[in-house]
């Protein structure tokens, strides 16, 4: 891939720990993501991948540690987290599109309300994005009329409409029927190639290998190994990584 990853850190995580009751889900994680970088997080279920991702926009509150986004420590008490979340998009496993709004309203609601974008401008932007993912003809439908793959593409467009600096994907294809996976992965791949900063938790190993600049292997609340896709998938150093990959590939 010829795309250039800049050396500017956009997300930095420092000593991140999180537990649910007695269960330590994340143990002292240090990580960073550069502007334009595509980072895949892989690992067995229950290893803390999703929790880690959800900490990045504070959907989960970490107990210990700090998260810097754009140079600002967003774990500080007095920070207006809503403002920062506007620049951190997120796409969920179960889409979470808004069933009470039309496709177009799903996309324009947050920009109009939170960024005070004029309605007409937001709608025009939404239409451009819908066209890119092949959903323009669904513009006035309600989400219940959409297939899973269409809902997920809508969710991606909804996140993009806020002009985020980074998008977090939480197993975006895990709830999809197999024949829909490709459509959604294509959209994500196009995004990745356009230079969007992406952090993605995924079980699609082929996809992770193809689009990532860096792969993190998580195990037991820690990042057990990280490296380029070739290093992780081709020559894993940690025996646990090798064992995991032998099971899923």
Partner 1 sequence: MFLENMIKIWQRYYYVFIDGLFGTLWLALITVVFGTILGTLVALMRLSRSKILYAITSVYIEVLRGTPILLQLYFFWLLLPKIVPFSMSDTTCIIVALIVNSSAYVAEVIRAGIQAVDKGQTEAAKSLGMSDGHTMRYIILPQAVKNILPALGNEFIVMVKETSLASVFFVGELMTAYKTVQSSTFLALPSLTIAGIIYLIVTFILTKLLRLLERRLQASD
CA distance 57 to 55: 5
Residue 125 binds partner 1, judged by CB under 8 A: no
Q: Which of 4, 7, 45, 100 binds partner 1 (CB under 8 A)?
A: 100
* Longest pairwise C-alpha distance within the chain: 55
Q: Is 69 helix (H, G, I), strand (E, B) or coil?
A: strand
Query: Which stretch, 88-96, 122-130, 212-220, 223-231, contacts partner 1 (CB under 8 A)?
Result: 88-96
CB of 125 to partner 1, least distance (A): 14
* Spatial separation of the C-alpha atoms in residues 131 and 152, rounded to whole Å: 15
**Shortest gap between Cβ of 62 and partner 1 (angstroms)?**
16
- 114 part of the interface to partner 1, by CB under 8 A: yes
Q: Decide if residue 94 touches partner 1 (CB under 8 A).
A: yes
Q: What number of CA atoms fall less than 13 Å from residue 170's CA on the CB side?
A: 22
Whether residue 111 contacts residue 161, with contact meaning beta carbons closer than 8 Å, is answered with yes
Q: Which of 42, 55, 162, 201 binds partner 1 (CB under 8 A)?
A: 162
In terms of residues, how long is the chain? Answer: 249
Q: Is residue 92 close enough to count as binding partner 1 by CB under 8 A?
A: yes
Binders of partner 1 among residues 28 to 67 (CB under 8 A) are 57, 59
Q: Which of 17, 98, 141, 226 binds partner 1 (CB under 8 A)?
A: 98
Helix (H, G, I), strand (E, B) or coil at 5: coil
Query: Which run of H or E residues covers position 238?
Result: none
> Which residues contribute to the site for partner 1 (CB under 8 A)?
57, 59, 82-90, 92, 94, 96-101, 109-110, 113-114, 144, 155, 158-159, 162
């Amino acid at each position: 891939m010829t795309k250039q990853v800049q050396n500017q850190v956009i997300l930095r995580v420092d000593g991140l720990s999180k537990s649910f009751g007695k269960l330590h889900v994340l143990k002292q994680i240090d990580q960073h993501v550069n502007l334009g970088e595509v980072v895949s997080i892989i690992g067995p279920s229950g290893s803390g991948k999703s929790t880690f991702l959800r900490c990045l926009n504070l959907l989960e509150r970490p107990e210990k540690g700090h998260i810097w986004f754009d140079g600002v420590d967003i774990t500080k008490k007095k920070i207006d987290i809503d403002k920062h979340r506007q620049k951190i998009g997120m796409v969920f496993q179960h889409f979470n599109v808004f069933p009470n709004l039309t496709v177009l309203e799903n996309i324009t609601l947050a920009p109009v309300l939170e960024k005070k974008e004029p309605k007409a401008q937001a709608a025009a932007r939404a239409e451009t994005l819908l066209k890119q993912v092949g959903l323009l003809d669904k513009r006035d439908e309600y989400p219940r009329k959409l297939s899973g793959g269409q809902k997920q593409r809508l969710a991606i467009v909804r996140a993009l409409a806020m002009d985020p600096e980074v998008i977090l994907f939480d197993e975006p294809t895990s709830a999809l029927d197999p024949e829909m996976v490709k459509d959604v992965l294509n959209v994500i791949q196009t995004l990745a190639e356009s230079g969007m900063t992406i952090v993605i938790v995924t079980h699609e190993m082929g996809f992770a290998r193809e689009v990532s600049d860096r792969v993190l292997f998580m195990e037991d609340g820690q990042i057990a190994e990280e490296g380029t896709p070739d290093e992780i998938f081709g020559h894993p150093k940690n025996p646990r990584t090798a064992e995991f990959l032998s099971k899923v590939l």
